[in-house]
Amino acid sequence: MLENQIYEQLSNLKSKTPLVEAITNYVTINDCANILLSIGASPAMCESADEAYDFTKLANAVYLNIGTLTKEQELAMPQAVKAADELNIPVILDPVGCAAIPRRIGFIDKLRSFGKVDIIKGNLGEIKSLAGVETKVRGVDSLDMGEDGVEVCQQLAKDWKCIVAASGKIDIITDGEITALVHNGDDMLTKVTGSGCMLGALTAGFCGANTDNLLASCIASFLSMGIAGEHAAQHNRGCYPGSFRVFLIDEIYKLTDTILRDKSKIEFV
């Protein structure tokens, strides 16, 4: 039944045009906005500490990315979490760099004191760092081979009472009880800056339109990025990073429920 619900998420998103409040990093903010538009959502990058609380109450989902954390963002993000918690708006947190910069784990703990975080979406190195498990990273990139990835994600999901989604060669998405492995994707996704951030934004878009089933929404977002990446790489010059980045946005725009169903490579464990 969950699998069928996954393939209904995209048409639901396109029919609802969810507003996503995104406080995200400056390296990829434009890419996040464009991929949200391409999938059918409405992006809003409101990061003013004076406005985040009130604006979040207008949104359908919140995406927080700490990749280039500024003082203004440090003040705005707790306000967004507080407002989202009051109105039960889903919050998707991308803990970029927390495995390399321990201070960021403390900031994440602070955010959680203001309200719930529904989905933690990161690479496996970041997820392991939050779980207190030793890992290997190079800056914001994970070098972890992922042998114990499923177990770590499941445990963190249970401990934090949220959905944990780890991107990698095989994506892991779990609520602690149900675990999906998404085998879609292409190595070219690792050759452009921001594919992980775009995935986080997509996840917020899906969750904003489908708040009654966040696990299905999260899986659908990972599936969408993986399939779009595969299709983008097949284009003439799709093997070059600059062209691939453009094709990726186009392929996200072209996705349908039927494409997701026909091209999906999902394994439940």
Question: Is 224 known to sit in a ligand binding site?
Answer: no
Of all residues in the chain, what percent are helix, strand and coil, respectively (each to 5)? Answer: 50, 15, 35
Largest CA distance in the chain: 49
Cα(223)–Cα(228) distance, rounded to whole angstroms?
8
Establish whether 145 is an annotated binding residue.
no
Q: How many CB atoms lie within 10 A of CB 30?
A: 12
Read off the tokens for 124. 């496996």
User: Whole-angstrom Cα distance, residue 61 to residue 141?
Assistant: 26
* 8 Å CB contact between 93 and 111: yes
Structure tokens at 88: 């039960």
- Look at residues 253, 266, 151 and name the one whose alpha carbon lies nearest to residue 216: 266
First-to-last C-alpha distance (Å) of the chain: 15
Q: Is 121 annotated as a binding residue?
A: yes
Please indicate if the annotation marks 194 as binding a ligand. Answer: yes
SS3 172: strand
Residues 214 and 222: beta-carbon distance below 8 Å: no
| Binding-site sequence positions for ATP | 121, 167
| Binding-site sequence positions | 45, 121, 167, 194
| Binding-site sequence positions for substrate | 45, 194
